Structure 1
């Protein structure tokens, strides 16, 4: 396998576009420099879980640089850890600097907050990243979360059937689950998002594979989980809405199989990385 075989064509295409958006018609500042070969090092300026090193490395490789990845994605970094060593033409390295650091910083930020969530949740409850991501960066956020021990929910709308509140405005839970069973692919799960205990009971009675309790209070969550399991022991219960790192442990104690957290993308802090020309 080649060095970047884990990066599929769609990801490479997006990375090229990110770079093109930043460079525009040309890097006028770097064009002022005499063209010289040089070496640069990318360093983490704070503690984090690393993600996006493969993407950053590919961007510099695309620019014609020789790249050595000093740390692998998923590594726990301390401030000052060196991540990438680059050898190439100065203009090419400097033109890709900001795009690469932005991707690296965002993905590492997602991986870092996800690692905190996964540690709190432990082994019996799986934490999932939602689709609340920036358009164009969805697959990178979803990849980053895995390095933090969190699972991606649907990558896109094609991946599974999830009946949400606004879908239920156009049909009953019973009716829409029946339609979903007619259309579903082999092995595909049917999930129903519910806002009340009554809806949770209806979803369980109609054999939804996953019942998502959305924005339930702590007290009502425990009761709803018990009702769902009494009706359909095989149904998987997912909790979502208003769950944060601060209250995650309390929800985990209720023993749901899944918890999805919008906070993991909405509040991911961009990690600070820097590039320095060293030779």
Structure 2
């Protein structure tokens, strides 16, 4: 949910200190409609409504976030001051375009990997992470960690500095019992070692599907309760191959890094023109 402070900051960034572009527009009553120009999955509608309402406008919609869209669908109608409507237009469209693009790509990935969780990563836009991860969730994906405090993830750099056994041992000693411990591995041998050391999640990083499939069998033979994740180098083209390896989840930086914005446009018309209705 957008806070008042966030709305003020986003609007200040877009409008600046001397907005003559919209300052010249009379504060006449107007009607605005936002339409989607291509198929996709809707996300960012709640945020778009919040932008316009923050500016004193009224909104109406029959759509909900997470809903499939067809080309031409009018997702939002707005009434109120033409000047304020134009002030909120770009910010609202940016939320819709960016978040719907992520949701659309996430839904595509889910369709290619039935039965496997599709998860985001922390490869997000600074200051916009919660909205990008929300878009993933709206499409049926998994947000993964929101920040470094959400779980303990032992990655390659920690392992190089500390060693695998030492890193896992220290994580178990210092982290809360409520936090899961995940280890990123680049070989089947390290996956087996991590499994014997009692971690909660093992991530196969930048490994080929055939190798991961073998690793899944060996880890499950040690402890079937361990959750298994694949990540690194996974694309739309090879996603189905990774889904067939037996992992529980696949995380893709591409969900936020490579998502193309969905195209929306806003049409604004005055309710009264030259004194005539």
What is the TM-score when the length of structure 1 is the normalising length?
A: 0.93
Partner of 1:223 in structure 2? Answer: 214
- Selected match of 2:113 from 121, 129, 132: 121
Aligned-residue CA RMSD in angstroms? 1.3
Structure 1 residues 8 and 91, CA, compared in 2 at 3 Å: closer, same or farther? closer
Does structure 1 retain, via aligned residues, the 8 Å contact 2:124–2:256? yes
Most deviating of 181-190 and 20-29: 181-190
Gaps of 5+ in 2: 272-277
Partner of 1:45 in structure 2? Answer: 37
Any idea what SS the aligned residue of 2:156 has?
coil
- Selected match of 2:190 from 176, 183, 199: 199
**1:277 to partner: Cα distance:** 1.2
Most deviating of 24-33 and 126-135: 24-33
Q: Could you report, residue by residue, the CA deviation over 1:175-229 in whole angstroms, capped at 9, with x for unpaired residues?
A: 1112111222243210001112221111111111000000001221111111211
Any idea what SS the aligned residue of 1:71 has?
coil
Q: Take 1:42 and 1:115, find their aligned partners in 2: how far apart are those partners? A: 22
Q: Take 2:67 and 2:146, find their aligned partners in 1: how far apart are those partners? A: 24
Does structure 1 retain, via aligned residues, the 8 Å contact 2:7–2:54? no
Q: Could you report, residue by residue, the CA deviation over 1:108-153 in whole angstroms, capped at 9, with x for unpaired residues?
A: 000000001111111x211101111111111001000111111101
Any idea what SS the aligned residue of 2:75 has?
strand
Q: Say whether residues 1:250 and 2:237 are aligned partners.
A: no
**1:232 to partner: Cα distance:** 1.8
Q: Say whether residues 1:14 and 2:6 are aligned partners.
A: yes
- Selected match of 1:181 from 149, 172, 179: 172
- Selected match of 1:97 from 77, 89, 97: 89
Gaps of 5+ in 1: 1-6
Q: Take 1:267 and 1:15, find their aligned partners in 2: how far apart are those partners? A: 26
Any idea what SS the aligned residue of 2:20 has?
coil
Partner of 1:61 in structure 2? Answer: 53
Q: Take 1:13 and 1:126, find their aligned partners in 2: how far apart are those partners? A: 34
- Selected match of 2:20 from 20, 23, 28: 28
Q: Take 2:214 and 2:71, find their aligned partners in 1: how far apart are those partners? A: 45
Map 1:224-239; keep pairs closer than 5 Å.
Answer: 224-239=215-230
Q: Take 2:260 and 2:5, find their aligned partners in 1: how far apart are those partners? A: 25
Aligned length: 270
**1:8 to partner: Cα distance:** 5.6
Partner of 1:241 in structure 2? Answer: 232
